[in-house]
Amino acid sequence: MARLGMVIDTTKCVGCMDCVVACKTENDVPEGFNRDWIVTEVSGQFPTLQMEIRSERCNHCDSPPCVYCCPTGASHIEDLGKTVQVDRHLCIGCKACLAACPYDARFIHPDGYADKCTFCMHRVVEGLEPACVAVCPTHCMYFGDLDDPNSAVSRLLRSREHHTLLREAGTKPRIYFLV
């Protein structure tokens, strides 16, 4: 069974925000909200500084606390791709999932249900890539099946040093950042 994930090469990301705009356009994200966003992290002591630019979104975790806390089953793991999705018809807007997510990846849509990155599954089932991956001008984003050893994402993870976000939170995120 496919387990979809994303690999983002931070050495190529320039923080142009094309992925953010593409996502908002593709998914009709309401004004003032973001399903994905750019984080710039600068660390070190001048003049020896390091900077990492990351395109962040819901990590579609293997151990998703947002799914476990949902009282109606609205937040669930889809069979296809094992992605984390929200059924807006079941959501009561209790916001437990917002509190449960250590990445603060969710928000409440103005219509009242919890919303977040869906990995553009409506595109994926048509054989297309998520909008953010397709539009990236530096081609720093890769999307594919983490359980397929021959997929681009699996090969990159084998060959390049990488990290995930808040590994200590125990959520097993499926977005990997190449360094």
Partner 1 sequence: MQEITSTRANEMVDPALHIWGWEIPIYLFLGGLVAGMMIISGYFLLSGRHRNTRCACFVLPGLSLALLSVGMFALFLDLEYKVHFWRLYTTIEPKSPMSWGSWILLLVYPALLANFLLRIPSLIGSGNLRHLSERLIRREMFVKWTGALNMLLGALLGVYTGILLSTLGARPLWNSAMLGPLFLTSGLSAAAALVHMIARDRSERELLAKADNAFLITELMLIGLLFIGLATATRVHIGAAELFFGGPYTAVFWVLVVGMGIVVPLIVQLLAVNHRIRHTPLAPLAVIIGGVLLRFVIVYAGQHSTWRL
| Cα–chain center distance at 152 | 17
Contact present, 59 and 105 (Cβ < 8 Å): yes
Q: Is 108 in the site for partner 1 (CB under 8 A)?
A: yes
Phi, psi (degrees; rounded to nearest 5) at 38: -105, 130
Take residue 117 and report the two structure tokens written for it.
């990155």
Of 7, 23, 101, 132, the one binding partner 1 (CB under 8 A) is 101
| Residue of 99, 73, 95, 98 lying closest to 86 (CA atoms) | 73
Shortest separation between residue 70's beta carbon and partner 1, angstroms: 6
Q: Is 107 in the site for partner 1 (CB under 8 A)?
A: yes
Q: How far apart are CA 154 and CA 5, in angstroms?
A: 9
> Which residues from 112-151 bind partner 1, rule CB under 8 A?
112-113
> Which residues from 19-78 bind partner 1, rule CB under 8 A?
20, 32-34, 37-46, 56, 65, 68-74
- Binding piece for partner 1, criterion CB under 8 A, among 3-11, 124-132, 153-161, 165-173: 165-173
Shortest separation between residue 40's beta carbon and partner 1, angstroms: 5
Q: Which is nearer to partner 1, 44 or 149 (CB)?
A: 44
Q: Which is nearer to partner 1, 54 or 155 (CB)?
A: 54
| Residue of 57, 66, 73, 75 lying closest to 19 (CA atoms) | 57
